[in-house]
Amino acid sequence: MSLSRRRFLGVAAGVLLAGCGRDAAREQPPADAEVLAGLLRRELDTGAAVAGVGGAASIARQDRLHAERLAELSGSGTVAPRSGAGADLAEALELKQQGVFAYVAALPRLADPDRRVLAMQIAASEAEHLAALRLAAGDEPVPDAFAGFTEAPAR
Amino acid sequence: MTAERVRELFDAARSDAGFFQAALHVEQVAALAYAAAAEGPLSGRERAQALRFAGHERRHAAAFETMLFALTVPVRERADGDDLDALLPGLRRAGRREALRQLAELEGAAIEGHQLMGRRLAALDSLRTVAAVMAGGAQHLVVLRDALGRTPLTHAYETGH
C-alpha cells in the first residue's frame, strides 16, 4: 500500500474516531498561533523554491501574501523572502504538495473558525499552484481526484 | 444562479450530517454535469478531461458517503438528471464556453460550501476529508479557467467566488 493511500485511509480512520467522540489529540491542543507558525515556516521554504522557477512569478507573489498573513496571525513579525537560487520545478512541486498536506492536516488543530477558513483558502490556493505549474510544464494538471492525497506524483 | 442554489443547499444545513448531505448532492450533480458536458458541448481534449473530472467527482461523492456512514446516516437518494437541470439549467444545450462557465461556477460554489463547513462543522477531524475534496475541486477550477482564457489561474486566497 502506498504512503499516500495510507495517508488517505488515516484521514478516514480519524473521522471514525471523531464520530465515536474520541480524539485524544485534542486533549492538549497547541495554540492557533503555534500551528500557524509551523505553516509559516513551510510556506517560506516553498515560496523560496517557487521563486527559483522560471515563469512562476505570480505564484511566488501569492506565496509571499500567504507568508505575510501567516506571520501576522502567528505573531511572527515581518518575514524576509528566502532565496530560491538553485530550486527546480520538481522540487517546487514536491514542496507545494507537502504544503497542501500540511494545511489540510492543520485544520482540526485550529480552534478559531476564521483561521480554519483561512487555512482552507490557502490550501486551495496551494493546490491550484500545483495544477498551474503542471499545466505550464505540459503535464496532466490534476492527476489525482484528491489533490495528491490518494496519488501523490510531484509531476 | 448555480452558485446561489448551491449556497442555499449549504446554508440550509443544521448539523454535520446536513452539511455532508449537501456536499454529497453537489458532488453527485458535478459528476453528472461533467458527463453531460462531455456528451454535448465539449469535444476533443476538453471532452476527455471532462470525463476524467466526472470520475473525480464520483470519488468525491463516495468520500462524503463514507463520512455519512461514519455518522450512521443512510444515503437513500442519488442525484439524477432533474437535479442536474435544477442546479445547472441549460447545461446540456449550452455551447462550449457557456458549459465551461457553468462548470467553473459549480466548482467555485462547492469550494465556498466546503469552506462554510470549515467554519461550522462540529467534528473537526472530518474537515481533512472535506479539504482534500475542496483542493481537488480547486485544481479543476484551474483547468476550467485556463480553458476559458481567464487570468489569473490561481488565487492567493481561494474562496470560490
> Which one has a higher pLDDT value, B3 or A12?
B3
The residue-averaged pLDDT of B96-109 equals 98
Tell me what pLDDT residue A52 has. 79
Write down the pLDDT at residue A16.
42
**Residues of chain B contacting A122 with CB distance shorter than 8 Å:** 156-157
pLDDT value at residue A30: 79
SS3 state at B5:
helix
Query: Distance (Å, rounded) from C-alpha A119 to C-alpha A123?
Result: 6
The pLDDT of residue B101 is 98
Cell numbers found for residue A106: 492543520
Among the partner-chain residues B60, B127, B153, the one whose CB lies closest to the CB of A145 is: B60
Looking at residue A18, its amino acid is A
Minimum mean pLDDT among A9-18, A84-93, B18-27, B78-87: which range?
A9-18
Which of A61, A125, A146 lies nearest to residue B133, judging by beta carbons? Answer: A146
Distance of CA A36 to the CA centre of its chain: 11
Q: For cell 452558485, what's the residue? A: B3
Whether residue A84 contacts residue A50, with contact meaning beta carbons closer than 8 Å, is answered with yes
User: Which one-letter DSSP state was computed for residue A109?
Assistant: G
Who's near A90: CB < 8 A, 6+ residues apart? A154, A155
Q: Using CB atoms, which residue from B125, B126, B134 is nearest to A120?
A: B134
Nearest-5° angle of CA A137, CA B130, CA A146?
A: 30
ipTM over 0.95: yes
Query: Is the predicted pLDDT of residue A21 greater than 70, yes or no?
Result: no
Can you read off the three cell numbers belonging to residue B77? Answer: 437518494
User: What is the pTM (predicted TM-score) of this model?
Assistant: 0.90
Length of chain B measured in residues: 161
Residue of A nearest to B108 (CA): A124
Residues near A132 by beta carbon (within 8 Å), at least 6 away in sequence: A59, A141, B142, B153, B154
**How many angstroms separate the CA atoms of B74 and A12, rounded?**
17
Contact assignment for A62 to B55 by CB distance below 8 Å: no
Reported confidence tier of residue A23, pLDDT bands at 50, 70, 90: low
Q: Do A113 and B140 touch (CB under 8 A)?
A: no
Given a contact cutoff of 8 angstroms between Cβ atoms, the answer to whether B155 and A125 are in contact is yes
Establish, for the pair of chains A and B, how many residue pairs have beta carbons separated by less than 8 Å: 158
Check if the beta carbon of residue B105 is closer than 8 Å to that of residue B2.
yes
Among the partner-chain residues A15, A114, A127, the one whose CB lies closest to the CB of B125 is A15
Task: Enumerate the residues of chain B whose CB falls inside 8 A of the CB of residue A132.
Answer: 142, 153-154
pLDDT of residue A77: 78
Which of B142, B143, B145, B155 to probe the A interface (max A CBs under 10 A)?
B142
Q: What is the DSSP string of A28-95?
A: SPPPHHHHHHHHHHHHHHHHHHHHTSTT-HHHHHHHHHHHHHHHHHHT----PPPP-TT--HHHHHHH
Give the residue among A19, A115, A5, A135 at the shortest CA–CA distance from B68. Answer: A19
Q: What does the pLDDT read at residue A20?
A: 42
The alpha-carbon gap from A88 to the nearest alpha carbon of chain B, in Å, equals 20
Contact A131 B156 (CB under 8 A): no
Give the SS3 label for residue B127: helix
Which one of B107, B125, B159 makes the best mutation probe of the A interface by having the most chain A beta carbons within 10 Å? B125
Q: What's phi and psi for B159, nearest 5 deg? A: -105, -10
Cα–Cα distance for residue pair B100/B104, rounded to 1 Å: 6
pLDDT tens string A105-114 = 999 999 999 9
